[in-house]
Amino acid sequence: KKKLKISGRELLSVPTQVFGLEQLQVLEMSPERESCLRYRMELLPQEISHLRNLTCLYLDSNNLKKIPAEIGTLSHLERLTLSNNSLSSLPAEMGALQRLHSLHLANNSLTELPAPLCQLRNLTFLDVSDNKIEIIPSSIRHLENLETLLLLFNSLESLPEDVCFLRNLHTLWLGNNHLRSLPAAFGELVNLDWGCNYCSCNFEGNPLESPPPEVCSRGPEGIRDYFLSLHRI
């Protein structure tokens, strides 16, 4: 088998037989979204390292509290979904997953964007919505291929200027944080979707003062003009 889905109303652990499937490429241990189930698996065993050919690992909606360091040995991994768990931290070894391009971490208990994630140079999609993140490290500038960054429903009070180096960003959601201001170079993110009906640069739910929300809605040119006007004063 190269693809395996494990399901069960009371899934508590990974069956040990799975770790003998060394050619496995896709492993899914998360309930169907429409089922409204939540599995109860708390631990991903260290033996996950035996599955060296995995490209996709789906672990959403469990009760995972920790990811083992051995996750870093899955050098072929391209997609990892860990949303809706109980994670408060991630192992530094995740920085070794250099083929990873899609990482889902929404609805956990992370308080900061882990620095190892900023080493994932091929990452194009990162969802850390609905955590408790207060800090974005300056090393985020290294995610030069990032196209989608979802930061909704966190505790951000500011964004580092380094976010403005992510020139390939098309989608950036910042809604429902505590942002009062944006970096002066924010208007340089010219590839963001600024559509009126679907504004990927989402500021709703933030007490923005500089620039005010009405300026943000004008897009990058409006934001650039706003900060330029401040320099002239």
- Do residues 197 and 233 touch, judged by C-beta distance below 8 A? no
**Is-above-0.75 flag for pTM?**
yes
Distance CA 64, CA 108 (A): 9
3-state secondary structure of 188: helix
Residue 109 is predicted with a pLDDT of 96
Q: How many CB atoms lie within 10 A of CB 195?
A: 10
- Do residues 173 and 202 touch, judged by C-beta distance below 8 A? yes
Fold of 3-231: 3.80.10
* Cis-peptide into 183, omega within 30 deg: no
Q: Which residues contact 4 (CB under 8 A, 6 or more apart)?
A: 18, 21, 24, 26, 27, 28
Instruction: Give me the residue spans of the domains in the chain.
Output: 3-231
- Do residues 53 and 77 touch, judged by C-beta distance below 8 A? no
Report the candidate in 142, 111, 113, 139 with the shortest Cα–Cα distance to residue 127.
113
Residue at 108: amino acid letter: N
Residue 200 is predicted with a pLDDT of 54
Question: Residues, the chain, total?
Answer: 233
Tokens of 176: 């429902």
3-state secondary structure of 200: coil
Residue 39 is predicted with a pLDDT of 72
Digits of tens for pLDDT over the chain (233 positions)? 699 998 766 778 888 899 999 999 999 988 766 455 667 888 899 999 999 999 999 999 889 999 999 999 999 999 999 999 999 999 999 999 999 999 999 999 999 988 889 999 999 999 999 999 999 999 999 999 999 999 999 999 999 999 999 999 999 999 999 999 999 999 888 888 876 544 556 788 899 999 988 888 787 888 888 988 887 75
Strands in 3-5's sheet, in edge-to-edge order, are: 3-5, 26-28, 56-58, 79-81, 102-104, 125-127, 148-150, 171-173, 201-202
